[in-house]
Amino acid sequence: MEKFTNIVIGFGKGGKTLAKTLATNGQDVLLIEKSAQMYGGACINVACLPSKRLVLNAAAGMPFSQAVVAKNEMTSQLRQKNYHMVADEAQATVLDGTARFVSDHVLEIALADGQTMQVEGQRIFINTGSKATMPEIEGLKESKYRLDSTTAMEQSEQPTRLVVLGAGYIGLEFSSMFTKFGSQVTVLDRNQEFLKREDEDIAHALYEDLTADGIEFKLGAQVQAIIDHENEVEVVYEVAGQKQSVRADKFLVALGRQANTQDLGLENTGIATNPNGSVKVDDFLQTTVEGVWALGDVNGGLQFTYISLDDFRIVKDQLLGEGKRRLSDRTVVPYSVFTQTPLSNVGLTEKQAQAQGIDYQLFKLSAMAIPKAKVIGNQRGLLKALVNPKDDTILGASLYMEESYEVINLLALAIKAKIPYTQLRDQIYTHPTMSEALNDLFKAPVK
């Protein structure tokens, strides 16, 4: 049996970055990836980058089928680049195969050619990502009209009518995108409140805009059954005890994602899992077996590529640094929902501040006031920020506006560095940009 100092299972963001880093530091690394179509992981192949390419090309007015071709060209280039990034390292080996544990430090690999082999790793890093949750809803798994985020981006023909299950990140990004491509979209979510983690005014603004774009929302909807008809699908649901249904060409399941641990053979090891199936890790991302770590979506943390990358930083610090970096020090994590007008957030929302009894000053601005929004031709939006009245530091911000996914990083930095809001207010920004809205946002508090 071949032995390695380091074995990474899965070519995700954290795993590939770790493999490259260890190899460039002179350590031998085996990286096992189950699909040659997934070199580089989900983000570049089937998640962040292809979806954003489609979102942007929808906004640019490109027809769906052409946008899918352009997206495929991009992902195939990225896949090659990512493969070589690791495989070209003298100390690294990339193996096409599916790994499962047979004991704490031994893996069996089902190779692409049908053979199997066993390898032993002094250290093993689990980076197997997540997959779309498919709940037990009658007819859902069997339906020929079912899409998930991956297959939705591979369609050669755009669905004329699309039902989206779930009004979360994927549900909203994909409904906004397909609407822009010209599909008629209906979104169902079991929550009565739209985007309930956000402040009501922000959620309301996004809801109104998406509705104005033509998306129909069915909130408080319990999906009961999926019925395949000859040329269409029927989604049966209940709202306030009333049975209703909607028909479409396809339906997209966007009901959350679960960690890829089902076929990992964890039952053969001392590696414990959480109730939702994700791998249990400590503050240093170590599993319950010494010498085995879990990075990215598989460890049950926030499911973002930049979190998987930050997981890499924690592990790298243990192996090559001072071993100080830990999960509990991770604060100030921004996020963006890439709807046609994107919504981005960092720190506390007003709702959270109120619930936690935290004193704050509130600043608000309509995106109508931003010159660059006018230049772009999209003045939709609302900006909010919360400031600590004691020391003027920023507690949180919600930006619903064009390019908010860029500007939010400025606010995240200000929160982390404890830069007072007055500095952002008086900063010289280039013009015309969305960032300069911070001059006006922080002019005067509303309460």
212 φ, ψ to 5°?
A: -65, -30
State which residue, 42 or 365, has the beta carbon closest to ligand FAD.
42
Q: Does 149 interact with ligand FAD (rule: CB under 6 A)? A: yes
- Long-range pairs of 244-248 with CB within 8 A, sequence gap ≥ 24: 244/218, 246/163, 246/186, 246/188, 246/218, 247/161, 248/145, 248/159, 248/161, 248/162, 248/163, 248/186
CA distance 218 to 270: 44
Q: Contact with ligand FAD (CB under 6 A): which of 7, 42, 252, 367?
A: 42
Q: In the range 253-272, which residues lie near ligand FAD by CB under 6 A?
A: 260, 264
CA distance 428 to 401: 20
Lay out the site mask for ligand NAD across 150-169 (x = CB under 6 A, - = otherwise).
Answer: ---------------xxxxx
Lay out the site mask for ligand FAD across 289-318 (x = CB under 6 A, - = otherwise).
Answer: -------xxx----xxxx-x----------
Indicate which of ligand NAD, ligand FAD, none lies near residue 256 (CB less than 5 to 8 Å, by partner kind).
Answer: ligand NAD
N- to C-terminal Cα separation, the chain: 68
Q: Does 85 interact with ligand FAD (rule: CB under 6 A)? A: no
Q: In the range 247-266, which residues lie near ligand NAD by CB under 6 A?
A: 254-257
Closest CA to 127 of 272, 275, 285, 319: 285
Closest CA to 436 of 421, 445, 425, 444: 425
Q: What is the DSSP string of 343-397?
A: EEEEE--HHHHHHTT---EEEEEEGGG-HHHHHHT----EEEEEE-TTT-BEEEE
Lay out the site mask for ligand FAD across 369-408 (x = CB under 6 A, - = otherwise).
Answer: ----------------------------------------
Are the C-beta atoms of residues 363 and 199 closer than 8 Å to each other? Answer: no
Mark whether 229 is an active-site residue.
no
Q: In the range 19-38, which residues lie near ligand FAD by CB under 6 A?
A: 32-35, 38
172 marked ligand binding residue? yes
In angstroms, what is the minimal distance from the CB of 262 to ligand NAD? 17
CA distances to 4, 74, 279 from 301, in Å: 28, 28, 10
* Residue in this structure with the two tokens 């249904």, named with its chain if needed: 245
Q: In the range 298-357, which residues lie near ligand NAD by CB under 6 A?
A: 303-304, 335-338
Which residues are annotated as part of the binding site for FAD?
Answer: 52, 128-130, 297
Q: Which residues bind ligand NAD (CB under 6 A)?
A: 135, 165-171, 173, 188-191, 223, 254-257, 303-304, 335-338
Q: Which residues bind ligand FAD (CB under 6 A)?
A: 9-14, 32-35, 38, 41-43, 47-48, 51-52, 98-99, 127-129, 149, 170, 260, 264, 296-298, 303-306, 308, 338
Task: Write out the catalytic residue numbers.
Answer: 431
